[in-house]
């Protein structure tokens, strides 16, 4: 989960919730570095709620999506405290994994 509003006191930014470009970009760069060569598909959870940000709007979410895509995210999730929203995009064919067969109980 990369929720900008949760990065208290990091990188000298007083109001991290109002700096989604910075925190999404930095986090994606770190994920890419850590997972380099592993084949891991990065699908970040993005902030889709107005907690500790004065700039929340549809554009706030759009900025996060754009920055994540620019930094190699092939797909994403966004969330609110009560709802999980799946990306409207479909992952590329090479990113699809066989679905696990889970027991029903």
Number of compact structural domains in the chain: 1
Q: Mean pLDDT throughout 99-104? A: 46
pLDDT mean across residues, the chain: 81
Residue 25 has pLDDT above 80, yes or no: yes
Q: For residues 31 and 44, what is the distance between their CA atoms, to the nearest angstrom?
A: 10
Query: What range does the domain containing 48 cover?
Result: 4-95
Residue 63, pLDDT score: 94
Residue 99, pLDDT score: 46
Residue 1, pLDDT score: 86
| Radius of gyration, CA atoms only, the chain | 15
Does residue 89 lie within any of the structural domains? yes
Residue 93, pLDDT score: 46
Residue 60, pLDDT score: 92
Distance from CA of residue 77 to its chain's centroid?
Answer: 6
Does residue 91 lie within any of the structural domains? yes
């Amino acid at each position: 989960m990369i929720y900008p509003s949760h990065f208290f006191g990091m990188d000298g930014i007083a109001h991290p919730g109002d700096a989604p470009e910075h925190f999404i970009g930095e986090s994606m760069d770190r994920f890419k570095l850590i997972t380099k060569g592993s084949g891991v598909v990065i699908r970040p959870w993005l902030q889709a709620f107005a907690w500790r940000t004065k700039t929340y709007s549809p554009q706030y979410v759009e900025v996060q999506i754009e920055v994540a895509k620019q930094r190699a995210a092939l797909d994403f999730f966004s969330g609110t405290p009560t709802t999980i929203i799946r990306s409207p995009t479909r992952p590329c064919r090479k990113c699809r994994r066989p679905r696990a067969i889970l027991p029903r109980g």
